[in-house]
Structure 1
Amino acid sequence: MPLAWLLGAMTICLIATFAGMKLSKPGAITLAMRAILGVAVGSAFTPELNERLIGLSFSLAFLLPYCLITALCGYYFFKKIGRFDRPTAFYSAMPGGFQDMVAFGEEAGAKLQPLALVHATRIIILVFTLPFLVSWIEGFSVDRNAPYTWPAHQDLAILFACGAGGWFIAKMLRISGAAIVGPMIASGIVHYLGITEATAPRLFMELAQLIIGVHIGCQYQGMKLKEMGYVMALSLAYLCVLGIITVFFVFCASFFATADPIAALLAFSPGGQAEMNLIAFAMDIDMTYVALHHLIRMVIVIVGAQVMFKLLTSFIK
């Protein structure tokens, strides 16, 4: 299977949850795995990035209309069809991170149970389907005999410093998604400057897949079965709407910005930043392109979500 560590762990935890077992989420160790992923993604920001800036800027320009259209369509979908209240409908529709949208929604008075369930369903479905879709299109094969190699001691120390230092600084600055964004920026800087060319060891990346897979698989833990069926069905229907929007913008990025369609599919897919970057890294799909798009999308959503919510609730009934 593609991404066997991620999908295997996620599947087993989902089965255990639906079977009624009580699981404990990985907790803080998940943040450490996100830091490892951030360091790995940052290693894609090499000096060659200068040659791609113009092409990337054309593609990145589609992110703002993508976020706006997604938010508006989703708001109407959950408000009119799902009969959600305004804050729950709006933050269910926003293509942002699970934790950020739940936190913003709680502050705005949203109902946390359906809000969390909508985002959990969206992420799980995308994480499970995209690797198989990419494998089918690209003919991706898993190398079972690839050796486990390690960077030199000084390179490993630099990567560790990027992970720990970047995470600490981002957390001090209260940057959303600090565990992945801080290490990614720190690693991107040292790789862009040519200080090191090393990336995170394969063993660490497989461990990150395993823990993140467990974390995703435990998202339904504690949710009521009575409400779960209705909201999951609603979420699947909304994913079809998101799929149409995503395909449109993938076509725009491919046609107008000459982006690789597979990279654009991962870049514009409304999954979690960590999960989409992990798929791109594990399947060797233009990490620079995918990571930049999800980073900018996160900034747009975090900065604009609360402002847009106030405008929507003021002018749209």
Structure 2
Amino acid sequence: MLLGCAGGFSFALMELPLAWLLGAMSVCLIATFCGLSLYKPGSIVLSMRAILGVAIGSAFSPEINERLGDLSHSLLFLLPYCLLTGLIGYAFFRTVAKFDRPTAYYAAMPGGFQDMVAFGEEAGAKIQPLALVHATRIIFLVFTLPFLVRWIEGLETENAGLHHWPDFESLIILFLCGGLGWGLAKLLRISGSAIVGPMVVSGLAHYLGWVEATPPKAFIDLAQLIIGVHIGCQYQGMRVKEMASVIFISFGYLLILGILTAAFVGLVFIFAEADPVAALLAFSPGGQAEMNLIAFAMDIDVTYVALHHLIRMVLVIVGAQLIFKLIKRFA
């Protein structure tokens, strides 16, 4: 945490985008590669994701009714995007990386890190290369996208609306949204319950007009810091020589993902008239929490980005296991 704070503070002084997230992540990554023994933050990471879920839900105001048509047109592109990403990625990892079938399949799925590793382990995949592929994908996208977005748009690096603390009543409602949402989603065994539950409950509360406030900036900065430390420790315990070849292969896969994502961003821009920067974040196959955090912190159509990642997560989690069973049966 001290390393993360030092990194976040340094990046903030340099006025870099998402300073607390990227600074903490960068310093912890460097420390890991230098051989320092670091431990990932425990359940506190889930609490930070709950804060983020509440913040994302605050973007779901009643004005969303006016956008349902445009949003639905863009969401139609998600299914072919997920299918193409998975099929091309599976072929790449089987032929180029020579991964076995379950490892190649779950390495190619554009889902969350924990979910894909858990599904892969259950299917008999090799955990270390699988985890390396997904960690490299998420770290690369989290680090590059804020700079790319700021270069394209010249956007501010933080949401100006977060500087004001909400009144006490609004703050209590926000905390209740987080706690109740997380608890209900966990009870229903929803994947990503720490972020999805609070996001849905907060979204309903804001949509119905029960609350208009968002979590204060201090909370969002704290969430960035701890999530950044958590991502920066993903390579802990792995030797650099053992990682080199898998990371190299992962960058080849990232090139494929980049081409596919750019193509679909172009399609939704042409046919769904979506903002290309919002579409870039919405179709980028990073972690749901991380991509939503970038959208929220940089004030980029959070509703649009959050909906796309929520639907993508559902498609991948539900579809991944069904399609893998078909592959095992007929391949």
Q: TM-score, normalised by structure 1?
A: 0.98
Residue matched to 1:137: 152
- Mapped to 1, the partners of 2:111 and 2:186 lie a distance apart of 19
Q: 1:188 to 1:225 in 2, by over 3 A?
A: same
1:9 equivalent to 2:24? Answer yes
The alignment partner of 2:59 has SS state of coil
Q: 1:12 to 1:154 in 2, by over 3 A?
A: same
- Mapped to 2, the partners of 1:147 and 1:45 lie a distance apart of 16
Q: 1:28 to 1:149 in 2, by over 3 A?
A: same
Aligned partner of 2:165 among 150, 153, 170: 150
- Mapped to 2, the partners of 1:219 and 1:276 lie a distance apart of 17
Q: 1:111 to 1:144 in 2, by over 3 A?
A: closer
1:30 equivalent to 2:45? Answer yes
- Mapped to 2, the partners of 1:172 and 1:224 lie a distance apart of 38
Gapped runs of 5+ residues in structure 2?
Answer: 1-15
Residue matched to 2:279: 264
- Deviations along 1:1-30, one digit per CA (max 9) or x if unpaired, are 000000000000000000000101011110
Aligned partner of 2:319 among 290, 293, 304: 304
Deviation at 1:310, TM superposition (A): 1.4
Aligned partner of 1:185 among 194, 200, 210: 200
The alignment partner of 1:183 has SS state of helix
Deviation at 1:315, TM superposition (A): 3.1
- Deviations along 1:133-189, one digit per CA (max 9) or x if unpaired, are 000000123479998421011100000000011001100110000000000000000
Give the total of aligned pairs.
316
Q: Which amino acid aligns with 1:189?
A: L
Residue matched to 1:160: 175
Q: 1:72 to 1:299 in 2, by over 3 A?
A: same
Q: 1:146 to 1:253 in 2, by over 3 A?
A: closer
- Mapped to 1, the partners of 2:172 and 2:306 lie a distance apart of 23
- Mapped to 1, the partners of 2:159 and 2:324 lie a distance apart of 48
Q: 1:194 to 1:143 in 2, by over 3 A?
A: closer
- Mapped to 2, the partners of 1:13 and 1:230 lie a distance apart of 22
Q: 1:130 to 1:209 in 2, by over 3 A?
A: same
1:94 equivalent to 2:115? Answer no
Q: Which amino acid aligns with 1:9?
A: A
- Deviations along 1:244-286, one digit per CA (max 9) or x if unpaired, are 1101110111110000000000000000000000000010000
Residue matched to 1:40: 55
Deviation at 1:297, TM superposition (A): 0.2
Q: TM-score, normalised by structure 2?
A: 0.93
Q: 1:56 to 1:142 in 2, by over 3 A?
A: closer
- Mapped to 2, the partners of 1:90 and 1:29 lie a distance apart of 31
The alignment partner of 1:270 has SS state of coil
- Deviations along 1:193-230, one digit per CA (max 9) or x if unpaired, are 01110011000000000000000000001123232000
- Mapped to 2, the partners of 1:277 and 1:20 lie a distance apart of 31
Residue matched to 1:220: 235
- Mapped to 2, the partners of 1:202 and 1:188 lie a distance apart of 19
Q: Which amino acid aligns with 1:253?
A: V
1:59-208 → structure 2 map (5 Å cutoff):
59-142=74-157, 148-208=163-223
- Mapped to 2, the partners of 1:241 and 1:223 lie a distance apart of 25
Aligned partner of 1:273 among 264, 288, 291: 288
Q: 1:284 to 1:75 in 2, by over 3 A?
A: same
> Contact 2:158 / 2:298 at 8 angstroms: preserved in 1?
no
Question: What root-mean-square deviation, in Å, do the aligned CA atoms of Structure 1 and Structure 2 show?
Answer: 1.3
Q: 1:144 to 1:295 in 2, by over 3 A?
A: closer
Q: 1:27 to 1:85 in 2, by over 3 A?
A: same
